[in-house]
Amino acid sequence: MKNILLVDDSALMRRVLCDIINSDERFHVQDRAVNGLEALDLLSRKTYDAVVLDVNMPQMNGLELLKELQKRKISAKILMASTDTREGAKTTLDALELGALDFIHKPNNAMDCRNGEFKERLLKILAVVADSRMQVSSKTFTAGDLKSSKKMVALVSRHAASVSGNKIVALASSTGGPKALQAVIPRLPKNLKAPVVVVQHMPAGFTASLAERLDSLSEVRVKEAAEGDVLEPGTVYIAMGGKHLNVLTMATKYTIHYTNEPAREGVKPCANYMYESLSDSRYDQIVCVVMTGMGADGTQGIRNLKEKKKTHVIVQEASTCAVYGMPKSAVAAGLADQTVPLEQIAQEIIMNVGVK
């Protein structure tokens, strides 16, 4: 049974969330805290399998607690559960950057938390967070990292300049992905010879903020993919939350097209659709990248893609994944051509698609 710390300033919300969590035999709410200070004291003395953390609290809020845990190098596996986490996309991304593993939007009314959909989602995400590897003291990409990554790019550019062919990078990530993407996208050079399309499992309303944040850290241009966007080298296109991204081939151009099929693999956007849409493209090679995330999204799409196109698959190595689900599925299916640590993924992308 997994021991959980529940942190929320509302007594009613604590009771409701506690009832939901304890209703599942996999979990037990071992302790409750009314603010970040109480939680910090508990986390300094005890270890939990997961922490369910509110954002808005008196004395020390959720983000302040995450910063303090990083500062003190206290490891914890955090699930943010707040009314802020839907509309407050910036707050959510701040929390993920500070080490929270995932988030769930909590209804404003505690009684609405008892509905089946919220309960099912909370327990599903909590199970993934409790079984994850990533810890709150994990490092954030910095200006110093960008400087060292430029040296890496300079070293591989001699080889990368000789890489020929018209290629595209198609990347899939889920739980732990927003933080992991910060270790990959900012390390790509602006003269990358290929476009990059990304499916990161996120609800509608979050992917624009994610794209803006990655763009501010990167040499490559990063944007939320819009309907009809023409793909260009050196640009990263993040799939819009709540829709399925496809790449359409139109004469010599490739464009973004969204479809509204039901969720597949339980997610929307689903990377399988993205990969399968590339099977009719005229790209000489598709470089698929499968990163941290729960489930098996990407596996079937890549399998189908490999039957029609020259495809090279880079998979994130297990010990660097927050959740070794999607990469594990690709490896188990015999689809991986390379398995590399998170910090080396950008380098392998550059080596495979080249620079101009």
The 10s digit of each residue's pLDDT in 183-200 is 999 999 999 999 999 999
Q: Are 8 and 57 in contact (CB under 8 A)?
A: yes
The reported pLDDT for the residue numbered 250 is 87
pLDDT greater than 60 at residue 265: yes
Both 151 and 257 in a single domain? yes
> Among candidates 114, 130, 356, which has minimal Cα distance to 232?
356
Indicate whether 149 and 71 sit together in one domain.
Answer: no
- pLDDT, one tens digit per residue, over 118-143 is 999 999 999 999 999 865 555 565 65
CA distance 72 to 118: 33
pLDDT at residue 41 tops 60: yes
Q: Looking at the structure, tell me whether residues 175 and 302 fall in a common domain.
A: yes
- Whether residue 75 is found in the same domain as residue 117: yes
**46: its two tokens:** 């005890």
198 and 153 assigned to the same domain? yes
The 10s digit of each residue's pLDDT in 56-97 is: 999 999 999 999 999 999 999 999 998 876 667 889 999 999
Helix ranges (DSSP H) in 23-61: 36-45
| Of 105, 201, 244, 312, catalytic | 201
Write the single-letter amino acid at 121. R
Q: Looking at the structure, tell me whether residues 39 and 155 fall in a common domain.
A: no
- Cα separation, 342 vs 332, whole angstroms: 19
Q: Are 136 and 65 in contact (CB under 8 A)?
A: no
Mean pLDDT of 337-346: 96
Q: Which of 82, 132, 173, 174 is labelled catalytic?
A: 174
- Could you tell me if residue 136 is inside a domain? no
Residue 201 annotated as catalytic: yes
Q: Is the pLDDT of residue 42 over 60?
A: yes
Task: Return the pLDDT at 136.
Answer: 54
297 labelled catalytic: yes
Average pLDDT over residues 23-44: 98
Given the residues 84, 102, 215, 297, the one annotated as active site: 297
Per-residue confidence band for 149, with pLDDT thresholds at 50, 70 and 90: low
- Mean pLDDT throughout 21-29? 97
Claim to verify: residue 124 and residue 253 sit in the same structural domain: no
Residue 272 lies in a domain: yes
The pLDDT tens digits for 269-313 are: 999 999 999 999 999 999 999 999 999 999 999 999 999 999 999
Q: Helix, strand, or coil here: 103?
A: strand
Q: Are residues 79 and 202 in the same domain?
A: no
Nearest CA to 177 among 88, 96, 264?
A: 96
Q: How many CA atoms lie within 13 A of 118 on its CB side?
A: 19
> Which residue has better confidence, 242 or 148?
242
**By residue range, what is the domain housing residue 43?**
2-130
CA dist 333 and 95 (Å) reads 34
Look up the CATH number of the domain holding residue 165: 3.40.50.180
- Position 15 pLDDT exceeds 70: yes
The reported pLDDT for the residue numbered 144 is: 65
Do 221 and 344 belong together in one domain?
yes
- pLDDT 10s digits, 207-229: 999 999 999 999 999 999 999 99
Arithmetic mean of pLDDT, 255-280: 96
Q: Are 62 and 84 in contact (CB under 8 A)?
A: no
pLDDT at 89: 85
Residue 154 has pLDDT above 90, yes or no: no
Residues 9 and 90 in one domain: yes
Mean pLDDT for all residues in the chain:
92
Q: Please indicate, yes or no, whether residues 123 and 166 belong to a single structural domain of this protein.
A: no
In three-state secondary structure terms, 278 is helix
Q: Provide the domain count of the chain.
A: 2
Question: What's the pLDDT band for 205 if we cut at 50, 70, 90?
Answer: confident
Domain boundary among 72, 105, 130: 130
